[in-house]
Structure 1
Amino acid sequence: MKLDHVVWKSEVYRRFWGKSEKSLDTFSDHTECRLGKWYYQGDGKKSFSHLHSFKAIEAPHRDVHTKGIEALQFAEQNKTDDAFNSLSDMETASDKVLTLLTAIESDIVNTYTSGTTTSIHQHSTEAEIF
């Protein structure tokens, strides 16, 4: 999912710099990207929603999408300073998302190797982790 996250951001930059013709309305929001589907509808919600790190990722993940799309909207309106500020905010949120994805991975490993629940191997066959 980290790679998907980076690819989504790269599409924002490609569009921002005029290297992509991708329509603004085709950029997914935070619930429709792969991470969002995993978080809201998929194995993430079902299997890992009890983890603090899992809960903490929602706001910065939403901000990545909101600020990225906002930057493109500002760029279309020739509000360059606002666009760059939104890109900066997107990057700040993105750093948090990547840090939290690593924390989720660590929490999963720690939880399922500490003997407090089923083994990670059994659990990972039931749920997509990353």
Structure 2
Amino acid sequence: MLELINRTNHESFIQSVILDHFVWKNKVYTSFMEANDHLTEEQICAHNHQECRLGKWYYDQEKSQKYSHLKAFQELEGPHIQFHEIASDTIRLCLKGDIYQALEKLADMEETSEQVFILLVELLQQMEQVLSQNVSLSTDQSIDDILF
């Protein structure tokens, strides 16, 4: 039962991160498409690779330590940082009215977005492998101990 709860918790978390990723990407596209609906500089700065849901988890050593050895976890940081940098650059170009360069950045954003998505799916698969290897949970361990 605890394994099922733990697996569901991880699945829900990764799905939330993926959804957040697509919501942020949609906001970038909205900034590009609608001149009067740009994000502010404060919003851009507040939503960086360390402040989004994934970043808060990724950089919290207590929460992410049991997965930091996984290949997808290790490969995720670079594309995740790039995605946020490119998204921010795109919005700033839109704010300056440089639509042609912003359009070029959107193509770069899509490429890194796909990398992030693939790595998140791989991370979930690798997390599930770790969970299935750790099926033998101590009877003293509470549900709170296994949830992040």
Q: Is this a same-fold pair by TM over 0.5?
A: yes
User: 21-30 or 90-99, which moves further after superposition?
Assistant: 21-30
> Unaligned stretches of 5+ in structure 2?
1-16
Distance in 1 between residues matched to 2:110 and 2:136, nearest whole Å: 32
**Amino acid corresponding to residue 14 of structure 1 in structure 2:** T
- Residues 16, 24 of structure 1: alpha-carbon distance in 2 compared, 3 angstrom cutoff: farther
Deviation at 1:21, TM superposition (A): 4.7
Q: Which runs of 4+ in 1 moved over 3 A?
A: none
Instruction: Select which of 91, 110, 117 maps to 2:110.
Output: 91
Query: Where does residue 24 of structure 1 map in the other structure?
Result: 41
Asked if residue 59 in structure 1 is aligned to residue 78 in structure 2, the reply is yes
Structure 1 unaligned spans of 5+:
none
Tell me the number of residue pairs that the alignment of Structure 1 and Structure 2 aligns.
Answer: 125
Check 1:120–1:21 CA distance in 2 against 1; reply closer, same or farther (3 A cut): farther
Correspondence list, 1:1-130, <5 A: 1-18=17-34, 20-27=37-44, 28-41=47-60, 44-113=63-132, 115=133, 118-119=134-135, 126-128=146-148
Aligned partners of 1:13, 1:84: CA distance in 2, in Å?
Answer: 10
Higher relative contact order (CA 8 A, sep 6+): 2
Aligned counterparts of 1:43 and 1:119: Cα–Cα separation in 2: 21
Identity of paired residues, percent?
30
Tell me the TM-score normalised to structure 1 length.
Answer: 0.83
Q: Secondary structure at 2:37's aligned position in 1? A: coil
Higher Cα Rg, which structure:
2
Q: CA deviation at 1:22?
A: 3.2
How far has the Cα of 1:44 moved from its partner?
A: 4.9
User: Hey, what's the Cα distance between the residues in 1 that align with 2:121 and 2:53?
Assistant: 16
- What RMSD in Å do the two structures reach over aligned CA positions? 2.4
Tell me the TM-score normalised to structure 2 length.
Answer: 0.74
